[in-house]
Amino acid sequence: MTQISLAKCKVDQLVKLCEEFGNQEGELINVLHKAQELVGYLPREVQEVIARQLNIPVSKVYGVVTFYSFFTMTPKGEHPISVCMGTACYVRGAEKVLDEFKRVLKINVGETTPDGKFSLTSLRCVGACGLAPVVLIGEKVYGRVTPGEVEKILKEFN
């Protein structure tokens, strides 16, 4: 893993964040939620700061971060793309839509384009099953997406 160094101000903010939760071990998940909001993702250094503050091993923090799909150790793109792969979207062709995003962006699920513009993930059900298959880009929801529309959608962000 590449070594990144975290800005001092971010470290201070993380320390403060942990203090707000009383540096309690039991608040680890809440701390991680806030930390991801703050930094955008949870790289090793962030985990180390949190571990030190809550007085727990880094391995424990790492164990929790990697257990839950909501937490990520890679930075998201400027426009994070999530293709819903819930069952309703799956039977209405979400897999083909996902394949098309992979093909056009030349990245796999969980990766970010080299220019940092787009990242691609699949998620399980946003609950808009009436609009299946559904794609989320940032906050924007695209419904009834077909593989043919993928390039057109991506052009909106150029």
Told to check if 127 binds other proteins by CB under 8 A, we report yes
3-state secondary structure of 80: strand
| Cβ proximity to other proteins, 127 vs 138, nearer residue | 127
Q: What one-character DSSP code corresponds to residue 123? A: E
Identify residues 128-147 at the interface with other proteins (CB under 8 A): 128-132, 134, 141, 143, 146-147
Segment interacting with other proteins, rule: CB under 8 A, options 4-12, 43-51, 89-97, 110-118: 89-97
Distance (Å, rounded) from C-alpha 106 to C-alpha 86?
23
Told to check if 73 binds other proteins by CB under 8 A, we report no
Residue 93 Cβ vs other proteins, minimum distance, rounded to whole Å: 8
Name, in order, each residue with C-beta under 8 angstroms of 60's C-beta and a sequence gap of 6 or more: 28, 51
Distance (Å, rounded) from C-alpha 87 to C-alpha 95?
11
Told to check if 41 binds other proteins by CB under 8 A, we report no
Binding other proteins by CB under 8 A: which of 41, 90, 117, 157? 90
User: Measuring CA to CA, how many Å separate 117 from each of 43, 75, 85, 112, 134?
Assistant: 19, 11, 22, 7, 20
Binding interface with other proteins (CB under 8 A): 24-30, 32-33, 63-64, 67-71, 85-88, 90-93, 96, 99-100, 103-104, 123-132, 134, 141, 143, 146-148, 151
